[in-house]
Structure 1
Amino acid sequence: MIRYALSCANDHAFDSWFQSADAFDKLHAAAMVTCAVCGSPEVQKSIMAPRVRTSDAQPEKPLSAPASPAEQAVRELRKQLEANSENVGTNFATEARAMHDGSKPERSIYGEAKLEDAKALIEDGVPVVPLPFGPARKAN
């Protein structure tokens, strides 16, 4: 396992673990490495020094601990959204339009939409908002 210090095009800094340097390169090339704060796929490795652990060194903070108050707020938003809404996946635009038109009952939903579909929803007055994170990636 290898840990990289990463940053995105919006200057958010975060760390992530990868099985190997090659694994990072493959995931990065497939746009599967995204910013932990804003979801941007424009992620780069930051300059970092090797870590040498001595016996009296304090343990590192867990990887799951937020790097900043903004990251904590985004994590909390995601947690609340996932607990109180239905993930409709790639059917988001269809479901949102059907609820707006009255052909489906209103409920809290989230999911994915193509940019042109999201713009069409907004132009048609369907109340939608983009989220500050991308879809959760499933691990094996």
Structure 2
Amino acid sequence: MIRYTLACEAGHGFESWFPSSESYDDQAARGLVTCPHCGSAKVAKAMMAPSIGRAASGPTEPNLPAVTQQPETVSLIAEPDQRLRAMLKAFRDHVTANADDVGTRFPEEARRIHYGEAGNRAIYGEASPAEARSLIDEGIAVALLPVLPDDRN
């Protein structure tokens, strides 16, 4: 795992973990690395100081036992972000449990429902940004289902 300090075009700084440098490069090129503050996908690595460990000090007296220090449990995600992710996951779980997955047929099925050609029901599926924009332009209400970081791993 590698941690990068990142900054978006608006100057918001944040950190994120990646399995490898290549993984960051791939995700950034595909627009999957976004600023948690403003959502911008124009993100770049920021200057960061290396994390240098220090050696544990031994006992001062030869007869004294060495003391092992237990590492502190550290969460990689701040608590507000954990709560937000939990809420987004609960929302997504609710939608997937209570709506029909129509897959790539989403734009067509949404139109059929909107124009009364199919029964009114909740659906979810896949649509390109252009297809979603077209649906919105036709007055068809659509919303993005949140993609959680765990979904990308």
1:15 correspondence with 2:28: no
Read off the aligned partner of 1:27 and give its amino acid letter: Q
* Consecutive unaligned residues in structure 2, runs of 5 or more: 55-68
Aligned alpha-carbon RMSD (Å): 3.8
- Could you say which residue in structure 2 is the equivalent of 1:106? 120
**Distance of 1:38 and 1:75 partners within structure 2:** 20
> Is the Cα–Cα contact under 8 Å of residues 112 and 135 in structure 1 kept in the other structure?
no
1:78 correspondence with 2:79: no
TM-score (norm 1): 0.63
**Distance of 2:100 and 2:40 partners within structure 1:** 23
The alignment covers a number of residue pairs equal to 137
How many angstroms does 1:14 deviate by? 5.4
After superposition, what is the alpha-carbon deviation per residue over 1:52-104, rounded to whole angstroms, capped at 9, x for unaligned? 56844412215697625444433332232233223334322111001122333
> Is the Cα–Cα contact under 8 Å of residues 101 and 125 in structure 2 kept in the other structure?
yes
- Could you say which residue in structure 2 is the equivalent of 1:131? 144
Answer with 45-54 or 74-83: which moved more.
45-54
- Greater RCO (Cα-Cα under 8 Å, separation 6 or more): 1
Read off the aligned partner of 1:29 and give its amino acid letter: A
DSSP-derived class of the 1:4 partner: strand
Answer with 41-50 or 6-15: which moved more.
6-15
Instruction: Name the larger-Rg structure.
Output: 2
**Distance of 2:15 and 2:110 partners within structure 1:** 33
- Could you say which residue in structure 1 is the equivalent of 2:44? 44
**Structure 1 residues 67 and 138, CA gap change in structure 2 (3 angstroms):** closer
The alignment-based identity, stated in percent, is 33
**Distance of 2:98 and 2:48 partners within structure 1:** 39
- Could you say which residue in structure 1 is the equivalent of 2:81? 67
DSSP-derived class of the 1:31 partner: coil
* Consecutive unaligned residues in structure 1, runs of 5 or more: none
After superposition, what is the alpha-carbon deviation per residue over 1:14-62, rounded to whole angstroms, capped at 9, x for unaligned? 53332x2133213322334345788653333355444456844412215
- Could you say which residue in structure 2 is the equivalent of 1:30? 30
